[in-house]
Chain A
């Protein structure tokens, strides 16, 4: 399909966790996840800590080797080392923590130029410098700051440096892993707008991972919800907020504290009991069944299929018809 840029089929990522001196147990961080991202769109990925959203992002870029499953980029399956290298030239990542993702011993110019250095993308020093300055102005950094170090900048400016680095190779696909959650509210909006502008200018496709549902709703075209390594729902951003189908999504949406006192007073929160189970001891069948008010025997027996119930609206739930 021409309009699909990234496609993932049955992606699995297991980590082996030591349980004793000689025994290990697989931690199923991502368990059989399939989805596709259209060219030029922003797919939001939400879920609580430990649900595997960051792992999806990293595995998608082959930062982790997938345990099983296939990743397609631009219609081409990514398999060999050469594929991966080519793929990495066209993809990039922006990290959550602007404090630990920048090397404190490198100047801003060197940080931004690092991808260019790795892939040898310039003919001479002058070309490199020009490219760095171009990138800096693109993300709203002052060119005089090129020879400073990361610690001299505020959180928002550091995140701009990280974004400039991600844009250095003119990527087509960018994974943004919680890029604004470490920032103050007023700075957050600056960075969100910049992601929007860069997308318009460069025709970027984003996978936007975040736990702040209002931010995700604002920036995303479609949103996927994960719970304990599984994808439970995927739909258009507005649709998933207005008509969530999966009981977990329903609860998640109602739990968002709205910045509006009247709406907050009227909002009927669905408060879930209990905590997320450990992914090492995930429940059988549907992972959400231990906290789900609608769970039945069927839910414990088998994992519901992730299927399209309305046009473009995917959900994995046995009891969909009963919940209504």
Chain B
């Protein structure tokens, strides 16, 4: 049994102008100790998927249907009280912006201890010790002194370390990292990614890495999910997704990023503009921007097709190729 099983998840935001289907039928499994990357552009539903798992959606947002199971326990529909037990203990989350996710009016120590006191049976002294231990684990120098300082005395990279310490204080099985290094500089990003990798090996938790940066994915992830307009286009091992993409959107994405190899060549952008989630097309959501769109793409969504043991994609092009192969006399 997988550690996390998400099945046909639908999450919508009910706004004055209509229902926004932010997550539209997402299914995936996450095994213990694995790093799963979710990539996509703004509005692709990658963060909303994470917030649905944590059930920290905004008031207008609601899980419409589907199931989320952690260790076999169903999370959709359980009470807020039960959910509080899951958060922190089983699943933790760190956010993009370490500048705003800490409370500026409390000391770092207070905020770290709050999480520990809330989720475990430790007393204050034990919680303090645990907090210091956590700060040491994430390589914060002089943790005892740092405990008494306020967030403004910390740099961006240091704050993100504090956030990671806080998230890991109760030893969760799953850590969700929502664009954890987007707000950081390259050299600080390298520090944080290195830290996450070593902690992952040491503590053996599973990580869901949400990012738009394909470089971060290539570096960190075992498996990758590519999302577009609330649905999964493609899913597979990192090598499969990067070297053998089977969805037109993923292919376009790979062509549009500058790499060391394509010096001096023109980039191949994906034409058009991102989709309007209020007016979703009937067929494949990517069809209006796809260079190879066929008639069927505009009418009907493609089912997810198994490409090989490590790779699935939902694109009619694969069905077409399959049919052509079968059509060949000796194929």
Contacts and interface: CB of A to CB of B under 8 A. Distances in A.
B194 A188 contact: no
Contacts of B214: 185, 259
B269 A251 contact: no
Contacts of A273: 191
Contacts of A214: 215, 257-260
B1 interface: no
Nearest to A197: B266
Given A154-B274, A218-B267, A49 B257 contact: no
Nearest to B190: A255
A217 B262 CA distance: 10
A192 B219 contact: no
Contacts of B187: 48, 251-252, 255, 271-272
B188 interface: yes
B43 to A, nearest CB: 9
B219 A257 contact: yes
B42 interface: yes
Main secondary structure on B side of the interface with A: helix
A263 B239 CA distance: 11
Given A192-B267, A193-B266, A218-B258, A257 B189 contact: yes
Contacts of A196: 266
Nearest to B221: A261
Interface in A182-227: 184-190, 192-193, 196, 211, 213-215, 217-218
Given A157-B273, A260-B242, A48 B194 contact: no
* Main SS class of interface, A: helix
Contact of A217 (B158, B258, B273): B258
B288 to A, nearest CB: 13
> Which range holds the interface residue count of chain B?
35 or more
Nearest to A256: B186
Interface in B262-280: 262-263, 266-271, 273-274
B256 interface: yes
B263 A238 contact: yes
A43 to B, nearest CB: 17
A259 to B, nearest CB: 4
A324 B17 CA distance: 63
A119 to B, nearest CB: 32
A189 B257 contact: yes
A33 to B, nearest CB: 20
A269 interface: yes
A115 interface: no
Interface in A238-289: 238, 241, 251-252, 254-264, 269, 271-273, 275-276
Given A258-B218, A259-B242, A275-B155, A186 B270 contact: yes
B136 to A, nearest CB: 15
Given A211-B186, A252-B187, A275-B158, A269 B194 contact: yes
A193 B269 contact: yes
Nearest to B155: A275
B216 interface: yes
B253 interface: yes
B256 to A, nearest CB: 4
A304 interface: no
Given A48-B187, A257-B213, A275-B155, A186 B218 contact: no
Interface in B225-250: 238-239, 242-243
A48 B257 contact: no
B238 A269 contact: no
A215 B155 CA distance: 26
A138 to B, nearest CB: 17
Contact of A189 (B42, B194, B256, B260): B256
Counting chain B CB atoms within 10 Å of each CB, the highest count among A192, A259, A271 belongs to A259
Contacts of B109: none
8 contacts: A185-B41, A186-B270, A189-B269, A255-B189, A256-B186, A261-B219, A264-B219, A272-B191
The 6 A-B pairs of least Cβ separation, nearest first, read: A257-B215, A189-B269, A218-B258, A189-B256, A48-B185, A186-B270
